[in-house]
Chains A and B, each alone.
Chain A
């Protein structure tokens, strides 16, 4: 327990672990997006995907290219943009709810073919 913590501080946790996590997060997000019924849950899954990307940036920056900031900055912007997206998406979902009194993704298929 203790050495894991110290490993974390010293950064000797292998990069693959982080990438693995991010990859899992990403595809979990994708899976969520494809399978969830509620728009809100889908939104959450998207957040997962974005965050996975963010983790990547940080990790790459921290491990492979120490001494530069690009990755970190990208992450910051990424988070901000994700926030905007969520905001807009929520707004629209509310609008949907107002119109359909439901947030089921299956409901919104009036326009097709």
Chain B
């Protein structure tokens, strides 16, 4: 049998290479050489990102277990960039003496979750998908519980692993039923025979909640705020952007590729989930004082918005979704970046700690404001465009009421985003957070995010590029 075709899985291999190099480097390099570890790691990963950012012809490997379509390059690149930003933001944290010894693990685990997502994205078979899923989530648990001596981290880790495993076991049970009812695990074959018999519907539901869990849709979201709060901030951002981004993409592809026959069944499900997620998350968010929890709920409601793109099930929706993920990545990572900088310096995460931030840290609060406005969907920032496109995609399929509900929720979301802005700009504080001079990598990452927020929307090239292949799929 010819294995050369495996070499086509370029992204996965290059990432694997990076991981192995880093592992070896971390283990065998001298103390002196290790000083450059992060630099090397970052540059390697950047290289990997650049190498794999060009879409290729679609192909299938291993008898269709691994299926590539050009669109995946975009989503993977987005994930790469996101990861890169996260790593940049984590740079300072990993340089601290306490964590220096663990940074090898940090990189390794992060990248392995990324690898898992790669497989998840490109999978053409439920086995592959399952492996990807688990590869993405098990190391994640260790990351969540990364700093060992932090009680909260431990708790978060426990909550994450337990919920994750619970979810995935239900999901696996679902998959088993799918297998039982169709006799195959290959997406293409299933698509033809999956006609929506009661058993199959049951199976579908059981299976899909596993993904809903990863996207953290209400009511499968309850782990999210706790885990986000407990884990180290950079990992939270990774969790909120990267794994979520991958999951929504996969959900879309699965629904369209594998379950097209029962669209009339999953559309109502998504409808309900979208309404629930957006509303409940918003209502929870307005009360939050801890900004990490706050962003957790906001990210849940954002996930709800993403469903509007998925529910349309059209190419337009696909493009809007990928675009939304891109914008969401920039905005959310910017917010988390500021958050992590301040937390690392002052270990302050409460909203009222941010009172009068603008007086002392104008730049940081400016970036924060951009990020929040973008999340709230205010022009001229990218968030406005991504939201508009998603609504447009949904409206095209006639989901006006859903769009309207979502829009009403934007009012609530605007309210709580404004609360933070109010804290930073309006409120006064006798001992505000002292002026912070953030290190180069964070600066780079924030500038990068800002540029993204400002121009991804106004310049239509990005969307057009994405759209090209979305129509191809």
Contact = CB atoms under 8 A, between A and B. Distances in A.
A–B direct touch, CB within 8 Å, in complex?
yes
Contacts of A113: 287
A112 B145 contact: no
A38 to B, nearest CB: 12
Contacts of B138: 81, 84-85, 88
Given A57-B176, A74-B185, A92 B151 contact: no
A42 B166 CA distance: 10
Contacts, number: 122
A96 B138 CA distance: 17
A21 interface: no
Interface residues of B, number: 42
A87 to B, nearest CB: 9
Contact of A26 (B142, B158, B173, B226): B173
Nearest to B159: A108
B157 A92 contact: yes
If over half of A's interface residues share one DSSP class (helix, strand or loop), that class is named, otherwise mixed; here it is helix
Contacts of A89: 141, 158, 161-162, 165
A47 to B, nearest CB: 9
Nearest to A65: B183
Nearest to A52: B173
Interface stretch (B40-48, B126-134, B255-263, B400-408): B126-134
A35 to B, nearest CB: 13
A2 to B, nearest CB: 31
Contacts of A50: 165, 169, 172
Interface residues of A, number: 43
B175 interface: yes
Contacts of A112: 226
B175 to A, nearest CB: 7
A1 interface: no
Nearest to A48: B169
Contacts of B152: 110-111
Q: Which 4 A-B pairs have the closest CB atoms?
A: A56-B176, A49-B169, A60-B180, A53-B172
26 contacts: A26-B173, A29-B169, A33-B162, A49-B166, A49-B170, A53-B169, A53-B175, A56-B180, A60-B183, A70-B127, A74-B179, A81-B130, A81-B134, A84-B134, A85-B138, A88-B161, A92-B161, A95-B154, A96-B154, A98-B148, A99-B149, A100-B154, A110-B151, A111-B156, A111-B226, A111-B229
